[in-house]
Structure 1
Amino acid sequence: MGKYIAEKYGALPLRFSQPLRDVLDRMGLEQNRENMAKLSLYLRKAFGEDILSKIILTEAEKSSSNLVVVDGVRRLPDIIHMETDEHFYFVFVEVSSEKRYERLIKRRQNVDDATKTPVQFDKDAKLETELQIGDLKTRADFVINNDGTLEELQTQVDKIVEDLKKR
C-alpha cells in the first residue's frame, strides 16, 4: 500500500522496519523476522518504547513532501506521537492469516521468507513485535480489508485519499 501511495500520489514512503534493517546491515546480520524482533525489543528497552516512532517522525519532518505514508506500525507507542498531529490519519489494514502467509512467500522481503513453512509463520505471529497489532484497529481512522485483489486494495486506498483531500 505504501509503495502504491508513493507512486500514485507522490508520498514519501517510510517503514518502521527500515531503521532495524539498517542496523542489522551495519552489524552484518541477516534481515529476518527473528533478528528484527530481537533488535526492536532491545532498542525499545534501552531507548524507550517510542524510539522507532521518533526516528520515523524525524525522517518525515526532514521531508518536503506534503504526504507521508508510514508502513509497519505494530504497537501503540509507534503512533502515539503521530496522533497529536491534526493531519495524521491512521489506516489499519486487515488481512487473513492465510493471505498474509501466501503473500509473504511471494514477496520475500526477508532472507528467510521464501522457505518459511506455515509452522514457522505461525511461530513468527507469536513474536512480541506482532502481538499488539490487532489492538491498533480501534485507533484507526480507516480500516481496509486486504483479502482481495491488488485492484480492490487500490480502490479502497484511492477512496481514502480522495476523502482526505476534501478535509
Structure 2
Amino acid sequence: MEHVLPHVRGRHCDELDIHALIEGGEQVFQYPLVDHDPLPRWSAERVTLMGDAAHPMDPTGSNGGTQAVIDARVLAYALAHGLGLEFYEEQRRPVTGGVVLANRQDGPEVILRLAHERAPGGFTDVEDVLPLAEREEIALRYKRLAGFEPATLNARRSWTVHPQPLP
C-alpha cells in the first residue's frame, strides 16, 4: 500500500478517510489505461474494424463507447448505400484519430488540470479560477473534434439507415 499513499498525500474528503482506506486494504489492483496510435487503415478486402478494435483510446469523456456507436451508424450507412468500407474509413478514421490524440492531452478533462494549476490550494468559486465562458469553449472544442457538437450534427447529413422491406 505504501506505493499508493504518495498519490493521495494532501488529499482530503469530508466523507471518507482516504489514507485509512488505503492503509487498511489487503491488495491494490492496477488496470492501466491503454490506447494505440491511430492506424493507417482499418479494412482489408471485406473485413473492417470498429470501436476499440479500430481505435482504442483513453476513456476520457466516455468517448470510447460514443465513438463505437458512431462507427456502427456510419458503417451501416456506408453498406446500406453501397458506399463501401472506404467511405466508412474516410469518415471515421480522421475523427477517431483526433480523439485518441486529444485524450492523451486530457481531452475535456483539461479543465481539471487547469483548475489545479491555477488554484493549487483549492478555491471557493470555480468562476474565480475558470470562468464559465472558458469552460464552455473547452467543451465545445472537444465536442467539435469528437463529432458531437450540436450545430455540426444538425448541419450534416444523417447516418440513419431506413429499413428496407424484406424480399
TM-score in terms of structure 1 length: 0.21
